[in-house]
Amino acid sequence: MSQEKDATYTRFSLYSFNFLFVFAAITVVTLAVWLSVAMDNGKLVDTYHVYLVVYCLVAIAILILAACVVSCWGAWNENKVVLYVFIILMWIILIMELALAIWIFYNIEQIKGSLHHTMTYKMRNYGNDTTMDTIQSSYECCGVQYYTDWHNTTWSNAHPGHVPLSCCQGNTKSRDTKCNSEEKGNYYIYGCESKVVYYVGFCYSVVMAILLVTLFVQLIATALVYLLILVIESETEGKNKDSITSRDNPKSSSCITLSNPEMQLSE
């Protein structure tokens, strides 16, 4: 009876963690969508670096949902084979999460370092490429490291003493196409590099945090499945022992009958 209670408790604990799994899968998909939108702002980060992480997150979410279905089915039917399939899925997800976390850890500095060159390139091609307008308006900054970075561009040669309109502070914007860099307080002074680097680092830090939380839930769910398998095996052994005992003692009931001959006569 205690084994049945243990199995029931473990089963329902696993069901509860499956709800957390579903929530984790939804969170991971939301994170993938948010990351793709956030990194698309200005397209400063290489598409390969962004979508590699996004596709991995989506794949992890799909596997988590599949694992939820498998664990519920295995727990409800007390099927050890299905529960072992769940454990295999957990290990696959675990390996994917660790691989993605290691990749982010070793590539984040390279990604941050490439931002300087990307923004410098886009400043030199300003006019044909308006990416810097998007960045400067969004992050309230001007240039890469300082507003004077614009003085060394082709655009500045045609507009001496000015910076792009996106460098102007919000209350001084007009219909003009440029901002007078000689008027102090009329424009943002500090460059965009530090703000963009911080934002990119923040985005990838959120990814790492979500992966760690999901990993923690996975480990607990895997432990519960292992426990449920042990309980099922214990119940199976108990039933096998009872059947062997009843087979080895077939005369037990006849012994009781022979020991009471008077009862037979009375019948």
Contact in structure between 86 and 74 (CB atoms under 8 Å): yes
Q: What is the mean pLDDT of residues 226-230?
A: 82
Which residues, other chains included, contact 34 with Cβ-Cβ below 8 Å and sequence gap of 6+?
none
Q: Percent of the chain at pLDDT above 90?
A: 3
Q: Are 87 and 71 in contact (CB under 8 A)?
A: no
Residues 6+ positions from 29 with CB-CB distance below 8 Å: 57, 58, 61
**pLDDT value of residue 213:** 85
On whether the CB atoms of residues 194 and 140 are closer than 8 A, the answer is no
Whether the per-residue pLDDT at 153 is higher than 70: the answer is: yes
Q: Report the predicted TM-score, pTM, of the whole model to 2 decimal places.
A: 0.69
Average pLDDT in the 206-231 region? 84
How much is the pLDDT for 42? Answer: 55
The residue that leads in pLDDT, 250 or 144, is 144
